[in-house]
Structure 1
């Protein structure tokens, strides 16, 4: 194996470890869905996105997920990715209430429509995991 191939394999292995630590089946399914159409994109998501970025020690997994949720909410049109990362956020220890708080906070900067889309994605994930209804989420008069 050449030095380049070795480095490529090491980056992928590092990324796979980070991916495994954060995501359940949904995260892995994204990579698997690319195998027959864009395998290099799947490789880069794992090697670069997770191996080079997510594996960095400067932010904890919970912090990385908070940032990711905010960004995906802000850019909009990323509800499928939001669902995957809402699941990952739960996997790394964020609570449903903390996740909803991200979307409430995001509404100030990116608007109610994007925050509402993010909350709808969260509702789907929470329902799948048996986390609905959220306790203590009643508005004050």
Structure 2
């Protein structure tokens, strides 16, 4: 039996980071359901303080998720960005690699840096090489 995969990233501003990663990956932020959220508040299952308005839409304050989109199917990988008040400390024990499918790494690096990413180092092994970067909240990832 195969399982589906969700990666969870603790961060200070989950909606902003989800937007950043959706643009980086060419993925989509999962849509919010403001009517459902309002009904949960009205019924007492949640409070207004657990919500916020992001890009004009009512959302749960604690998190946002991205996927490759509806065409990718129900078992596609999902990245959930969830709110955490703790600062990142040290090197990530898990990171992901963004495969560029032949696009020039230096060009992608420049675009990512212009959007708030940080270049950390270049590395390689045998015929493979990559750049290690950090997203706007300092989470490491590689582009190859």
Q: Tell me the TM-score normalised to structure 1 length.
A: 0.32
- The structure in which a higher percent of residues are helix is 1
- The structure in which a higher percent of residues are strand is 2
Which of the pair has the greater relative contact order for Cα pairs under 8 Å at 6+ separation? Answer: 2
Q: Tell me the TM-score normalised to structure 2 length.
A: 0.32
